[in-house]
Structure 1
Amino acid sequence: MPFITYTTVAGALTDEQKVELSNALTEAVTNTLGEKLKQNVWVTLNEAPEGNFYIGGHELKAKTLKRLMD
């Protein structure tokens, strides 16, 4: 059974975006590996507090991610 884990900064995604993302990830797996797997694809969305993500030594904040997604 496919198991997908997506981790991001808390507050970066709206509830609607979480649903859309989980559906898109599920579709990506079933489009690649077969529709029969759809009911067995697990998607977990983990949100870690700000201060736990760094890129190149710089803290990544939810507001920064939101700007990138607009």
Structure 2
Amino acid sequence: MPYIHVQILENRITEETEPKLIAAITDAVVGTYGEDIREHVWVVLDPVPAHRWGLGGKPVAPRPS
């Protein structure tokens, strides 16, 4: 059972992009292992606020007030 946990900036996930991303990740796994695995692929999207991500030692965005 493949389990793919994706942590992504929350502003990158919308009602439109969410199902597309899940489908594309699932398709990538199926492309590697074969169609029989499709029903066993778990994809979890974990949106994270930008102020909780760090890049180069600094937050990606300021903490909201």
- TM-score normalised to structure 2 length: 0.83
Q: What percent of counterpart residues are identical?
A: 33
1:1-70 equivalence runs, <5 A: 1-61=1-61
Aligned to 1:64: none
Q: Which amino acid aligns with 1:44?
A: V
Aligned to 1:68: none
- Cα deviations by residue, 1:23-60 (Å, 9 ceiling, x for unpaired): 00000000001110001100000012232101111322
Name stretches of at least 5 consecutive residues in structure 2 with no aligned partner: none
Q: CA deviation at 1:9?
A: 1.9
| Distance (whole Å) between structure 2 residues aligned to residue 31 and residue 48 of structure 1 | 28
Larger radius of gyration: 2
Aligned residues: 61
SS of structure 2 residue aligned to 1:15: coil
| Distance (whole Å) between structure 2 residues aligned to residue 54 and residue 15 of structure 1 | 25
- TM-score normalised to structure 1 length: 0.78
Name stretches of at least 5 consecutive residues in structure 1 with no aligned partner: 62-70
Question: RMSD across aligned C-alpha pairs, in angstroms?
Answer: 1.2
